[in-house]
Structure 1
Amino acid sequence: MLDRNNTGLIVVDIQGKLSHLVHNSEMMFQNVAKLIKGCTLLELPILVLEQNPEKLGKTATEIRPLLDGYPCIKKYTFDACVSPRFVEQINNVGVQHWLICGIEAHVCVYQTAMGLKQMGKTIELVVDSIASRDDANKHTAITKLLTKDIGITSVEMCLFELMKDCKDDKFKALLDIVR
């Protein structure tokens, strides 16, 4: 079970034109926004990744305002765990469990999830908040990650799991986010 005292969120490369070219991008943006808002409400640490932003652009305007104040790490490798700055941030945050959302599912999301697993972290892929240009690639990434003991969740599933109790002071605000 997820525990909000030991869980963080990584937003992988939702940038520029590519973020609009992925399959069902509008739904992805809506789900990622809910996920970020929920994680912010629950005070989870959030790390933002940008792949080669000079070429691909900055984090998409649809979600950028929700990420103000969170560390944004520029990278050039598909696996963010090759980046010393990312590894430093992961270690500084000090949580064991990471939710992952972003693009492209079969490249940077997949490789970063595997890199984190190799670092000994526990990973849950938020499947309604990841995408690839070709939906078949997204499903291939999910299938392959399942075989590597990466957990699978959805926005609502993980947020309610983190909330735990409808008597929590933040429950009403969470309902407003997911509705």
Structure 2
Amino acid sequence: MPMIDPARTLLLVIDVQVRLMPAIAEGAGVLANTGRLAAAAKLLDVPILFTEQNAGGLGPTVPELAPEPGMAFPKMSFGAVQAPGFLERLPADRDLVVAGCEAHICVLQTALGLLEAGRRVWVVRDAVGSRRIENRDAALVRMAAHGAEIVTTEMVAFEWLGTVRHRRFREVVRLIK
């Protein structure tokens, strides 16, 4: 897989919701890194789509990420690809950088569905979480075995930048430090 090109990617944030995040192991780090990715995406004009699993039960996306109207896709299926209209929300020319929860359920099933649909997928290791670490780790291994690239927040940010001469370099680096 080539480098992560900001002109060809969409940041997909899966189910980072108010009633779920307190139960996520290392949830503060997952949330912080997801926030860094979202901020970098906004600075670099990378589109973002959020999913919300059973929002009536798990609540909306956490206020720290505050999706703009129309940026949150409601779903009841664990894998977003199985939700009616989801694939149509993804521009056909965009690869997916994926963050969110839970790694072994909704992130896994969404990533596998995207891969099956022929999409390129990068899963951000330090921006995905599960209630139990072993579930997250097993999901990352399984996603990689099926073709997802496993990356980190910094890898994504610096590949989106591409060069120290990028006009947004200093702003993005401030997000990482």
In the alignment, residue 71 of structure 2 is paired with which amino acid? P
In the alignment, residue 95 of structure 1 is paired with which amino acid? D
1:3-152 to 2 correspondences below 5 Å: 3-64=5-66, 67-69=67-69, 71-90=71-90, 93-152=91-150
Which whole-Å CA distance do the structure 1 matches of 2:70 and 2:32 have between them? 19
Which whole-Å CA distance do the structure 1 matches of 2:27 and 2:145 have between them? 26
In the alignment, residue 13 of structure 2 is paired with which amino acid? V
Distance apart, 1:70 and its partner CA: 5.4
Which whole-Å CA distance do the structure 1 matches of 2:101 and 2:92 have between them? 24
Which whole-Å CA distance do the structure 2 matches of 1:25 and 1:166 have between them? 31
Task: Please name the residue that 1:2 is paired with.
Answer: 4
What is the alpha-carbon root mean square deviation over aligned residues?
A: 1.1
More displaced stretch, 80-89 vs 119-128: 80-89
Change (3 A) 1:43 1:70: farther
The SS at the match of 1:84 is coil
Distance apart, 1:163 and its partner CA: 0.6
TM-score, scaled relative to structure 2: 0.95
In the alignment, residue 82 of structure 1 is paired with which amino acid? Q
Distance apart, 1:117 and its partner CA: 0.7
Query: Once the two structures are aligned, what percentage of the paired residues are identical?
Result: 30
The SS at the match of 1:168 is coil
Q: Stretches of 4+ moved more than 3 A in 1?
A: none
Would you say how many aligned residue pairs link Structure 1 and Structure 2? Answer: 175
Which whole-Å CA distance do the structure 2 matches of 1:121 and 1:70 have between them? 23
Contact 1:102 1:131 in 2 (8 A): yes
Distance apart, 1:69 and its partner CA: 4.5
Which whole-Å CA distance do the structure 2 matches of 1:167 and 1:21 have between them? 41
